[in-house]
Structure 1
Amino acid sequence: MAITVNGGNPSGRRRFHGSPALSEINVTPFVDVVLVLLIIFMMTAHVMEFGIQVEVPKVKQVSDSAKDLPVVNVTRDGELYLNDKPVNINDLGSILKAKYHDQSAYLRADKGATWDPIAKVMSALKDAKITVNVVTQPEDSADRKRR
């Protein structure tokens, strides 16, 4: 009496019949994850415009400028920041004169800020012979239709 084991293969090894093993890596899931991360980054990038929370007023026309100019921020509470660093109004003029004499600077003021700190900043910029560029946001089309 004879018994056949392993399908009658005398070497004892199995033979695979059909398609060969896959040697390629499926990159479709990887591409999907990368595209989702790209979309998330694109949607959150506009939030990271500046590190200090200031809600600037909106206007109809804004010209873009890509210059590397100093930015003076005035928060709703009247706090002052020069390039994201806290600064005292009494020191602002001398700092601007030393580093940015005869240049331009951006003034970002929260729309809820009182006029007093804004006027003091503008006076310090004038004393340092620095041209003031006021930062605003363009109006949304929905804002224009409401008027």
Structure 2
Amino acid sequence: MKGGMMQSVRRKPMSEINVVPYIDVMLVLLVIFMVTAPMLTQGVKVDLPETTSDPIQAEKETESVVVSVDANGAYFLQVGDEGSDPMPLERLREQVSKIMAGRSNREVLVRGDQNVQYGTVVRLMSVLQRAGATNVGLITEAEETDGTGG
């Protein structure tokens, strides 16, 4: 009876998963993320205060540099008491670069309208950083209180 009928051997289904290909994929993804992660970090370096902020005491020998952004996104440069007309961002970068060439540790203050888009102020701060301004601060107004303590 051997010749005509072969007995089929049934194998029991294997209940284990081969994880070796998954480990290979995981290691490839890990290498890709390790290479691309440093390229994804961008931003503007801002030194945030660690305590409640007090008014800035301006130095007598240096004129303050104030860059303003109005609600329409127009840029203005003010050095000491001299203000400017609205100017494009590239011209502003050139002007601030000239000012910073004389004294690189001079503080540049940014005054942004509360209705201006956040991206406009961030773009401005990035341009100021490229122009050589290492110390950039934000000008705000004190919050008005109604006398109820909060």
TM-score by length of 1: 0.52
| Structure 1 unpaired stretches of 5+ | 1-59
The one-letter code matched in structure 1 to 2:98 is A
Residue 56 (structure 2) aligns with: 64
Equivalent residues of 2:70, 2:113 under 8 A apart:
yes
Q: Which one has the bigger helix percentage?
A: 1
Residue 74 (structure 2) aligns with: 79
Of residues 137, 143, 149, the one that matches 1:145 is: 149
Map residues 65-144 of structure 1 onto 2, 5 A cutoff. 65-67=57-59, 68-83=63-78, 84-85=83-84, 86-101=86-101, 102=104, 103-130=106-133, 131-142=135-146
TM-score by length of 2: 0.51
Deviation at 1:63, TM superposition (A): 2.2
Aligned sequence identity (%) = 20
| SS of residue paired to 1:62 | coil
- Distance in 2 (CA, whole Å) between partners of 1:100 and 1:144 is 45
Deviation at 1:143, TM superposition (A): 7.7
| Structure 2 unpaired stretches of 5+ | 1-51
Cα RMSD for the two superposed structures: 2.0
The one-letter code matched in structure 1 to 2:107 is S
Matched residue pairs, number?
87
Equivalent residues of 2:100, 2:132 under 8 A apart:
no
